[in-house]
Amino acid sequence: MARYVTQRIIYMIITLFLIATATFFLMKLLPGTPFNLEDKLTAAQKAALYEEYGLNDPLPVQYANYIFGLVQGDMGISFQFDNRKVEDLIMSRIGPSAQLGFQSLVLGTLLGLILGLISALKRNTGYDYTSNVIAILGISIPSFVFAGLLQYTFGVKLGILPVSFWDSFKHTILPTIALAIFPLATVQRFLRTEMLEVLGSDYIELARAKGLKNSVVTYKHALRNALIPVITIMGPMVVGLMTGSLVIEKIFAIPGIGEQFVRSIQMNDYSMIMGTTMFFSVLFVVVILIVDLLYVVVDPRIRLTGGKE
Amino acid sequence: MKKTKWSLLLVLGLVLSMFLAACGGGDEGADDNQADDNNTGEQTDNNTDNEGNNNGGETGGDEEKVLRMTEAAEIPTMDPSLATDAVALNFIHATYEGLYRVAPGGELVSGIAKKDETEVSDDGLIWTFHLREDAKWSNGEPVTAHDFVYSWQRIIDPETKSQYGPYFFGGLVKNATEISATDDDGNPLYPDMYGKVEELGVKALDDYTLQVELINPAPYFGSFAAFPVFVPLNKDFVEAQGENFALEVENMLFNGPYVMTEWKHEESWTLVKNENYWDKANVGLDRIEVSVVKDRATAVNLFETGEIDRVGISGDFIDKYKTSPFFSTELEPVVFYLQFNRLSAEKADLMNNKNFRLALAQGFNKQDFIDVVYGNSSVPADGLVPADFVKHPETGEDWRDINGSLLASDIEAAQEAWAKAKEELGFDEVTISFISGDTETGKLITEFFKNEWEKNLPGLTLELKNVPFKERLRLQREQLFEVVFSGWGPDFLDPMTFMDLFVTDGSYNDGAYSNDQVDELITKAKTEYATDPNKRWEAMLEAEKIMMDEVAIGPVFQRARSFLTQPYVKNMKLNPFGPDYSFKYITIEK
């Protein structure tokens, strides 16, 4: 077990290094520069700025400098926000994104599981149809439409919830619902399909033949197995939700990380692009490792070490 | 086996919850504080509603005058030397005060310097500013001429990396270029002088007298005296803060009408009236609350629920609110125009033909262009200098009213000119290239011109080049085009910021327009007439007439912005130059 985890961590470091390298060189292909007054600057002034930020060095030198800094935990200074450290900027914005992500993950997954179960157990009934319609709407309505609708209905027309901002718990309700609709729909669809398949399999027949109670069959034997694909999709979903949704953050004026990431790309804020990319990547590989380890817990058939020990 | 698995799950769960706690923990604390702040805010608002009348700009009145607004972006920097964008300039102008200040409508008024006492030498090169002696920093220290000297030296110091400093002062203030200029590889052009900021032509004659030495007369130097980048800085304070200067509220020292008391990065900031400001009695607001809202629809919803007092609107919202009593439109002094490339490798003979250019400049409807491409309240431009920008120094008449409409849309006239051009040049069909940005708007622009010109001017084919911004600049600078759509906003409050764009070999004269008469008039305005406002204006007015008569460029439109504003907000008008608003004069009258 320990050996497996160590091995995985080494692979993770290699992966992260490759991501850093690819991002660095792709980013340098972006047209434009990080400086606002490009149009009005003289060549000389531009040269001075480039020199100052080390953009005049040959690419390999810039690359080596960057990787060296990264290893030491130094992500550099943001171009758009003078003198602010990238790591500080990321940490100051991850809070709201993580809270929003966590709330909508819990809400969306719970509701998704409930709807998925209902659908599977009451297949082809009114319950099933209703649940499916909710899931399909959730997948197909763009989140900016849904969020705008929520904002307008509850914020402007009814006036019972705040239109935007990130102040109290009350302020988190609308964005949480808006963001939860995606995990809800995804989990519902996966669980329904998987449950139907599992319920038709031989070992469920056997369990029933043994005379086990219906609830034990459903929850102990069927549900646990049906959860495996759900766990698989949960990994990327957790990262996606925790790192924020650009659209939701923008509409509800939430100071989160998702919007910052997109803006850093638009502004050619090189150090910020690298910083956020690396942050997301670390989060992603860690979550994937956790998901892999979770499989062992949920499904006795899966073994990590391939039985060599 | 089973036991280990469950313990593994437990460990994973713990790790995950620690991670979540770490992310959410500090934040919850902040939430609580914020909720409290909010309650206080609401209570104050209620008081305001109940009490009705107020007594003008007096301090000590019972109700708190609070302006609530949104910005679409975070303040990138509160370091005046480094500011480049509208948001930063806006709030630096609110919290600092330079020699002069911009009043609503764009008029320059006394700031730290007493404007009426400013002396300019006969040759226009030496400016002497007399500073008021009662101005204080927010820590109580006096604001002196040395603070300006320090700030201006800091701006021009290559170490500071200011963008606006060298751009504005280079070639204007004595030695500014020598101290800051480098070649394309970053090597100093004047190694002996490079970085020697003490050589800059700005001196403190005594604590309250500042003298500036220029290398060319600049009657518009007052604009720089009011520009937020050139405010004073307290040397002791700035140096004590080092790299942290202006990063957080506690790292800032102000001398303007307001002080920043809270700055939640990328979320909100609060300004309150500066108790140490010399003209405290005339500061219109007690508090300014700004939130970052990037989504336009959200900002409009906040206005609808009464949570903010003013919001900028565009696109569909203009149609929706056009008839609303809160709706207003304000012109910006930003003009967009067509440049015709006389140095085009293949089509130079066409582009040098006046009738050919005239046909292009008049052969489309400018209002249709605005409606199709921008759908906002912009107005057609029929000259180079925008309306509502500069007024005659003596009569006070707007430039645009004096010179009037010089080059308006006229499709019939365009077709006549087109027929003449065909005759003179002997062509029947022709293809020219048109460059514009590769953005959504850039594409709409090129498509509009292709449609209109090809319809109105038979035989013309437009080859569209939609390229990224940087590439467009390169094509423009290297003159690889026939027509380009570009624009200009003012650097200072004087027609010259537009008028010298198209002199022979001007940096932004991409169409290589050249006219001896215009060159002479502009040179005269800059030298001989520099100290005679009347003659100077006459020369520039005349130059614009010649340029429009010759179709030097094809003016298209002047940009406007639309707003929804609560009626109790007074004096909140866009400035024609520099910061968007003059917060000192904005007030609330409920």
Q: B496 versus A259: which is more confidently predicted?
A: B496
In a domain, B451, yes or no: yes
In a domain, B326, yes or no: no
pLDDT given at position B26? 35
Phi-psi region of B395 (alpha: psi -120 to 50; beta: other; left: phi over 0): alpha
Same domain assignment for residues B344 and B421: yes
pLDDT given at position A45? 64
What distance in Å separates the CA atoms of residue B90 and residue B154, rounded to the nearest whole number? 21
Say yes or no: ipTM exceeds 0.90. no
> Would you call B295 and A251 a contact, using CB atoms and an 8 Å cutoff?
yes
From chain B, pick out residues whose CB is under 8 angstroms from the CB of A95. Answer: 23-24, 26-27, 30
Q: B94 vs chain A: nearest CA distance in angstroms?
A: 20
Largest CA distance in chain A: 85
Mean of the pLDDT values across residues B113-121? 94
Mutate to test the interface with A, among B40, B156, B182 (most CBs of A within 10 A): B182
What distance in Å separates the CA atoms of residue A282 and residue A241, rounded to the nearest whole number? 15
pLDDT given at position B441? 82
pLDDT given at position B537? 94
Q: Is B345 on the interface with A (CB under 8 A)?
A: no
> Would you call A82 and B267 a contact, using CB atoms and an 8 Å cutoff?
no
Region of poorest pLDDT, from A48-62, B165-179, B349-363 = A48-62
Question: pLDDT digits over B160-192, tens only?
Answer: 888 888 888 888 899 998 998 877 666 788 888
pLDDT given at position B18? 41
Q: Is A290 on the interface with B (CB under 8 A)?
A: yes
Task: Domain count for chain B, please give it.
Answer: 2
Q: Is A26 on the interface with B (CB under 8 A)?
A: no
Q: What is the CATH number of the domain that holds B106?
A: 3.40.190.10
Same domain assignment for residues B412 and B274: no
Question: pLDDT digits over B380-407, tens only?
Answer: 999 999 998 998 988 989 999 999 999 9
Q: pLDDT over 90 for what percent of chain B?
A: 59
In a domain, B436, yes or no: yes
pLDDT given at position B1? 43
Identify the CA nearest to B553 among candidates B489, B493, B488.
B488
Identify the CA nearest to B544 among candidates B511, B502, B506.
B502
pLDDT given at position A82? 61
Same domain assignment for residues B497 and B571: no
From chain B, pick out residues whose CB is under 8 angstroms from the CB of A242. Answer: 23
Helix/strand/coil for B504 = coil
**B157 pLDDT exceeds 50?**
yes
Chain B, residues 75-104, CB within 8 A of chain A, namely 76-77, 79, 82, 84-85
Torsion of CA A285, A289, A291, A293, to 10 degrees: 180
Same domain assignment for residues B428 and B491: yes
Q: pLDDT over 70 for what percent of chain B?
A: 89
Q: Is B563 on the interface with A (CB under 8 A)?
A: no
What distance in Å separates the CA atoms of residue B249 and residue B137, rounded to the nearest whole number? 15
Same domain assignment for residues B225 and B260: yes
Q: A43 versus A97: which is more confidently predicted?
A: A97
**B107 pLDDT exceeds 60?**
yes
In a domain, B315, yes or no: no
From chain A, pick out residues whose CB is under 8 angstroms from the CB of B77. Answer: 81-83
**A308 pLDDT exceeds 50?**
no
pLDDT given at position B35? 34
pLDDT given at position A244? 61
> Would you call A163 and B82 a contact, using CB atoms and an 8 Å cutoff?
no
Helix/strand/coil for B337 = strand
Same domain assignment for residues B549 and B517: yes
Same domain assignment for residues B342 and B413: yes
Mean of the pLDDT values across residues B439-462? 91
Mean of the pLDDT values across residues B370-379? 87
Same domain assignment for residues B404 and B502: yes
Question: pLDDT digits over A181-232, tens only?
Answer: 988 998 999 999 999 988 888 888 888 888 888 888 888 888 888 888 888 8
Q: B272 versus B438: which is more confidently predicted?
A: B272
In a domain, B203, yes or no: yes
pLDDT given at position B58? 41
Q: Is A44 on the interface with B (CB under 8 A)?
A: yes
Question: Please, what is the average pLDDT of chain B?
Answer: 86
Identify the CA nearest to B447 among candidates B372, B515, B391.
B372
In a domain, B94, yes or no: yes
In a domain, B118, yes or no: yes
pLDDT given at position B308? 94
Same domain assignment for residues B410 and B510: yes
Same domain assignment for residues B131 and B279: yes
Q: How confident is the model at residue A44 (pLDDT cuts 50, 70, 90)?
A: low
Q: How confident is the model at residue A93 (pLDDT cuts 50, 70, 90)?
A: confident
- By residue range, what is the domain housing residue B437? 332-560
Q: How confident is the model at residue B362 (pLDDT cuts 50, 70, 90)?
A: very high
pLDDT given at position B387? 92
From chain A, pick out residues whose CB is under 8 angstroms from the CB of B167. Answer: 37, 40-42, 45
Identify the CA nearest to B562 among candidates B292, B269, B285, B296.
B296
Secondary element (H or E) of residue B50: helix B2-51
Q: Is A56 on the interface with B (CB under 8 A)?
A: yes
In a domain, B319, yes or no: no
Region of poorest pLDDT, from A268-272, B518-522, B565-569 = A268-272
> Would you call A80 and B468 a contact, using CB atoms and an 8 Å cutoff?
no
pLDDT given at position B451? 93
**DSSP type of residue B397:** -
pLDDT given at position A81? 67
Which residues lie below 8 Å from residue A124, measured CB to CB, with a gap of 6+?
A: none
Same domain assignment for residues B362 and B497: yes
pLDDT given at position A43? 63
Same domain assignment for residues B367 and B423: yes
CA B170 to chain CA centroid, Å, is 19
Q: What is the CATH number of the domain that holds B516?
A: 3.10.105.10
